[in-house]
Structure 1
Amino acid sequence: MSTKSVPMRSFWDGSSNNFRAILEHFENVGRLARIKVEVDPIFEIAAVCRHMEQAPDWGQHVVLFENVKGSEFPIVGNLCDTRDKLAFAMGTSTRESVNRILDAMTRPIPVQLVDEAPCHEVVITEPDLGVLPIPTMSEFDGGPYISAGLHLTSNPLTGVRNAGIQRNQVHDSDLLGIYMAPTHMLQHYLAAKEAGSPLPVAIALGVHPSLLVSSQLRLPFDTDELAVAGSLMGEAVRMVPCVTIDAEAPADAEVVIEGEVLHDTTRLEGPFGEFARLYGPERELPVVKVRAITHRRDALYHNVMSASSPENVTLGAVGREPSLLSALRSSVPTVRAVRITIGGGANFHAIVAMQKNFEGEPQKVGFAAFAAQDLLKHVYVVDEDIDIFDDEEVHYALATRMDPARDMHVIENVKGNPLDPVSVEYGPGRAVVNKMIMDATVRIGSEVKYRRAEVPAEVMERVGQDFDRYLTDE
């Protein structure tokens, strides 16, 4: 089956805080690329997205595949693959995103429960995942994978909600695999398993990017990330009770998969091209029994690229930096900025800029970073004069201010990420790794030695104010 080309106006429902409203905003500024030819969800969609990412004229566009082979659902891609796109979706700038999210963390808006919702316009209680255009992205992936699913579960002991993004392999028409990162949803699952019960889960696709970003915040356990998402959007996230399970789903989502993570069943899952640009191996992992699929009548399917694409790691970096900055400032108030790098998979590397007042503070910052986000592996600490978003500046600090024998601090056998290829996995989802703090700050007392050689600032300013006269013949 194929789809017809549908104008965006028929997608938009007038709301300003949902998935299709964001697409409207991108189209209004000429940054929505419509692909009208038929495209296969098996590898071809991924290939087009990768080419769009790399093309100078198309890298800042969101992609709408209007004609997806075998499905009535259009696919949206490349929505989250740059910091600029996520900032635009949140109504801010790239450099101000961290402050915007930090402010939202201090002023959460609780969710609003509603009785009726666009995501319930079509309800399928005899579910068949084959109706969804779930792509296969990397060459040796174990099959089609849901990659943008916002997983909503509740703590079986307290009832507090958690939001996170997990990967889901399609096993059967009503069965998904699930790899749960060693974070809060896994704790929910383990608590349910200990009680001998399945864990209800709502998997929402096609939500406002603020929900996806908030799901990546490393907030304290039993803190609802959707309250932060509400603050980012300026209004409460609307939630609706699910049809078949004891859970709630975003009312304005495009698609919701209702299911239960079974406590007594596993299945071989993987491989899957992951954030480390390598394949996560096959493992025996839990499964999600799908109880229902609900969606809008004209639903859009959202896909997030993984592996060699920067999309899933960009989403992770933007979401994790604010909570890391907040945690570090609680320990060392003179921390100025943090950057979680794309090259480090948004999990392994953090760069921190600080005003150092005492020797040993960079090490304290490193330990605080590991405590706040325990999947980090390398923390690089630089002075506040270094622009941590400029790779050349960071390399300059490492080259001129770091003595390997003195300033590299290795901590052995710390909890790590099992998807890190150098980690030692000792059980499903459990691994240890050696970690490192690198102090690339100027030694106290050596400031004169490290004075930058520059043209006098007042001369640079004077010339810059009248620079055009140097470019004329008069």
Structure 2
Amino acid sequence: MEEDSTGPDAEVGAGAGRGDDQSMRGLVEALARRGELVDIDRPVDPRFELGGVLALLDRGPAVRFTDVKGSALPVVGNVLTDRERIAAALGVPKSGILDALSAAIASRQPTEEVTVAPCQELRFPAADVWREVVTPTFFEKDSGGYITAGMIVAHDPVTGHRNASYARIKPLEETTGFVGIAPNHHLSALARSAATAGRGLPVAVTLGSHPAIQLAACFYLGLGDDELEHAGHLLGEPVRVVRATTSDVLVPADAEVVIEGVLRVDRPVHEGLVSEYHGMYEDYGDGCTLEVTAVTRRADASVQVILPGLAAEHSFLGALPIAAGLRHALRGFGCRATDLAVTLSGGGRVDVVVALPPEQRKQAKRAILGCFAAVSMIKQVTVVDSDVDVWDAEHVQWARTSRMRWERDLVLVPAVPCDRNVPMQQDGTVTKVGMDATAKPGDRAAGNELAVPPRETMDRVHGWLTSDGLGGKVRPTPVVRGALHGAHEDGR
């Protein structure tokens, strides 16, 4: 049976509302205490070497680099690489992550503006930006080095709208950078709005905020909704913000590093090849220009990096907010998902697994179409029963193999307009696929019930193994783990 706890350092959780530091350093310190952080003290080249270390340790410990060539600051990566760490950061059990994120989507809490902030302890001119913030080159054909953990907060002076989201940033000249944003993203809409008034969009690129703030910045909300207000629900207290030194943008006060600037869509720059979440390269053409106006940081700051592509941290930062938003949206379609995963094999973006309770099996196709409607980039949806562990790829594949009749349960929707980053899209469309892998009465004479030991026996044996010091070695098959997980979730 799978343990479901936040571990011995759950005190780093976000929901305590104790006025804790709203940066990532609380979680990093907790990982160090648990032996889940390694320090790399040898000199590391940001061109490929840094990314190579993160790739080789992707599903392992967090990494802190103390000697990155050309970097004035230590660099931290691989922090949010699994759901256990994310649960610890949010102060919830692993099974409660989607509940917490869904509640935050439906709730908002005004930010709290302060005048003195850790993120502004030191201030630097724009010309110092690429000396203060390292931009690693991760993959062989990438067109350059990037800031990959940069949460961009923006304030449109025309509409008053605020936004927090992620985009990749590549250095260009001494005080300028390239920003890659899809045309349909809200940050693009705000930048276009500012351009119609003949001005750039004031922004600030923030690094190292609390994981709750980072996750909230990945929510799919309405245009004009301020993601920082929704992050307050996850934190259990308002996000503390401070006004940028060169604009009216409000930035998370406890961030490690802040790059202030102006985003200009009227100054396009061609990017070249870049690695995407699906693990392949794309050439999106032109992006925007960032004009840097200032840099501020903590006196003892570190620079956060996120290994892009199919890496676990990059995937989970997209997967969990999308999963929470989908489950929230499916309720509006009459589908009560007991669990929902956006899989790592789909880069945490395009492949979804939905678990429905037995009484809702007939809603499987509605759930499939509901996911397609809710998030345009979703390409593939599998619906399973609640006795299947949606986060276990082997168990989900078992359900497809054992509970589907392809001629009846496969849904193909051809030529659907989609986002530019969806794998295999052509001319802006892709065929989407749904799979109803729920058990149907009458499919098998002997029935579809999983063959597993009694729950009471498994609980008792798990207790024996734990008392004998073997609890950490418990690794049941996906079928057993999923069946007991489902029974627990259904309250049986």
TM-score tier (shorter): 0.7 to 0.9
Instruction: Give the alignment of 1:197-216 within 5 angstroms.
Output: 197-216=199-218
In structure 2, how many angstroms separate the alpha carbons of the residues matched to 1:458 and 1:123?
Answer: 59
Between 105-114 and 447-456, the greater mean CA deviation after superposition: 447-456
Match of 1:428 in 2: none
Q: CA deviation at 1:81?
A: 2.0
Match of 2:175 in 1: 174
In structure 1, how many angstroms separate the alpha carbons of the residues matched to 2:462 and 2:50?
Answer: 49
In structure 2, how many angstroms separate the alpha carbons of the residues matched to 1:376 and 1:465?
Answer: 38
Match of 1:20 in 2: 25
Match of 1:238 in 2: 240
Which of 404, 429, 434 aligns to 1:432? It is 429
Pair 1:139–1:100, CA change in 2 (3 A): same
The answer on whether the counterparts of 1:169 and 1:270 sit within 8 Å (CA) in structure 2 is no
TM-score normalised per structure 1:
0.87
- 2:315 counterpart letter in structure 1: V
Q: Does the residue aligned with 1:219 lie in a helix, a strand or coil?
A: coil
Q: CA deviation at 1:386?
A: 1.9
TM-score normalised per structure 2:
0.84
The answer on whether the counterparts of 2:158 and 2:197 sit within 8 Å (CA) in structure 1 is no
- 1:295 counterpart letter in structure 2: R
Q: Does the residue aligned with 2:57 lie in a helix, a strand or coil?
A: helix
Q: CA deviation at 1:228?
A: 2.4
Instruction: Give the alignment of 1:84-123 within 5 angstroms.
Output: 84-123=84-123
In structure 2, how many angstroms separate the alpha carbons of the residues matched to 1:467 and 1:144?
Answer: 52
Show CA shifts across 1:187-226 (max 9, x none). 2223233443321111101111111111112223332221
In structure 2, how many angstroms separate the alpha carbons of the residues matched to 1:127 and 1:466?
Answer: 60
Q: Does the residue aligned with 1:249 lie in a helix, a strand or coil?
A: strand
Match of 2:447 in 1: 450
Which of 294, 298, 301 aligns to 1:299? It is 301
Pair 1:103–1:458, CA change in 2 (3 A): closer
Structure 2 unaligned regions, length at least 5: 1-18, 469-492
Q: CA deviation at 1:459?
A: 8.7
Give me the CA root mean square deviation: 2.5
1:42 paired with 2:56, answer no
Show CA shifts across 1:164-198 (max 9, x none). 11111111121111111332222222323344332
Q: Does the residue aligned with 2:241 lie in a helix, a strand or coil?
A: strand
Q: CA deviation at 1:137?
A: 0.8
- 1:164 counterpart letter in structure 2: S
Q: Does the residue aligned with 1:23 lie in a helix, a strand or coil?
A: helix
The answer on whether the counterparts of 2:338 and 2:356 sit within 8 Å (CA) in structure 1 is yes
Show CA shifts across 1:32-91 (max 9, x none). 21112221111111111122225xxxx1x2211111212221101111222222222222
Pair 1:432–1:129, CA change in 2 (3 A): farther
Match of 2:390 in 1: 388
- 1:206 counterpart letter in structure 2: G
Match of 1:253 in 2: 255
The answer on whether the counterparts of 1:16 and 1:22 sit within 8 Å (CA) in structure 2 is no
Show CA shifts across 1:76-127 (max 9, x none). 1111222222222222333221122223334432211111212112222343
Pair 1:363–1:177, CA change in 2 (3 A): same
In structure 1, how many angstroms separate the alpha carbons of the residues matched to 2:237 and 2:444?
Answer: 48
Match of 2:474 in 1: none
Q: CA deviation at 1:149?
A: 0.3
Q: Does the residue aligned with 2:73 lie in a helix, a strand or coil?
A: coil
Pair 1:153–1:448, CA change in 2 (3 A): farther
Pair 1:396–1:286, CA change in 2 (3 A): same
Q: What is the number of residues matched between the two proteins?
A: 446
The answer on whether the counterparts of 1:178 and 1:286 sit within 8 Å (CA) in structure 2 is yes
Between 351-360 and 25-34, the greater mean CA deviation after superposition: 351-360
Structure 1 unaligned regions, length at least 5: 1-13, 426-430
Q: CA deviation at 1:373?
A: 1.3
Instruction: Give the alignment of 1:66-465 within 5 angstroms.
Output: 66-131=66-131, 132-155=133-156, 158-181=159-182, 182-281=184-283, 283-355=285-357, 357=359, 361-425=363-427, 431-443=428-440, 446=443, 449-452=446-449, 454=451, 457=454, 460=457, 464=461
Show CA shifts across 1:423-474 (max 9, x none). 124xxxxx32221221112335658653326367389569848978xx9xxx
In structure 1, how many angstroms separate the alpha carbons of the residues matched to 2:83 and 2:375?
Answer: 20
Show CA shifts across 1:214-244 (max 9, x none). 1112223332221222221222111111111
Pair 1:445–1:161, CA change in 2 (3 A): farther
Q: CA deviation at 1:312?
A: 0.7
- 1:122 counterpart letter in structure 2: L
Q: Does the residue aligned with 1:100 lie in a helix, a strand or coil?
A: helix
In structure 2, how many angstroms separate the alpha carbons of the residues matched to 1:347 and 1:331?
Answer: 21
In structure 2, how many angstroms separate the alpha carbons of the residues matched to 1:466 and 1:337?
Answer: 26
Q: CA deviation at 1:155?
A: 4.8
In structure 2, how many angstroms separate the alpha carbons of the residues matched to 1:114 and 1:150?
Answer: 20
- 2:47 counterpart letter in structure 1: I
